[in-house]
Copies of this chain bind each other. A is one copy, B any other.
């Protein structure tokens, strides 16, 4: 295959102006379980699907608290996420120490992006293999940011990343209009319903409670410091969500995820190259 001649090193451009190693790192995000972020006027919510590697160990933490006003949920290489969250935590601490106030979310994410950018331009490092959904609250209200291995970030109304997250995104898009004015309970339910859509149908039907689904929920907002909900609360919201409505139909092709239309189709129009993720290599 011709294109592989240019994918050995993050400092090598392909003749088409692409950085294949950065694109491959973005594939690592799709290997992690799905996570969802969404918000109403005053609150941002993260819902993550965890999968214990076996009955013996607790689930990997997919949602990581950073500061009172901020937390992240992750998909991809856990160890990379931990290193990034250590950076975020120490930035928040220093900011609080210097200015005695919380770090504005967009500025913090900009700095994170700049830190991640260096791994996409230097030969001695690999790009981080993890995607983040950031839920934060500051004087501009609640925020959901998506951060990718290409060091790009997006200010989102709602979003989902990880394995089979396309189903979750489809759910979010269909219900996008209702989020802003929903109650906190409602957007948590929306988040749960969105993420249930990313489960295979059989798995979906054979499970009964939140612990079996391994759903984690976190919330941050006005007068609400970042908090990961307890098992009991998870159970409560799962029940509430199931009463509210069935999840959307899973898409026919489980493997199809981030792209509504392949970038090679001419009508799709131009996009920034960092989101054109290696689609033609699929079988």
Contact = CB atoms under 8 A, between A and B. Distances in A.
A96 to B, nearest CB: 20
Q: What is the count of identical protomers in the complex? A: 7
Interface string A101-138: 00000000010011011011111111111000000000
A57 B146 contact: yes
A106 to B, nearest CB: 10
Contact of A173 (B56, B124, B127): B56
B4 A129 contact: no
Interface residues of A, number: 97
A169 interface: yes
B11 A154 contact: no
A15 B11 contact: no
A182 interface: no
Contacts of A159: 54, 56-57
A163 B82 contact: no
Given A155-B58, A157-B56, A7 B17 contact: no
Interface string A28-57: 111111100000000000000101011111
Given A33-B271, A56-B169, 7 more contacts: A13-B25, A54-B260, A58-B157, A79-B274, A86-B114, A200-B269, A202-B267
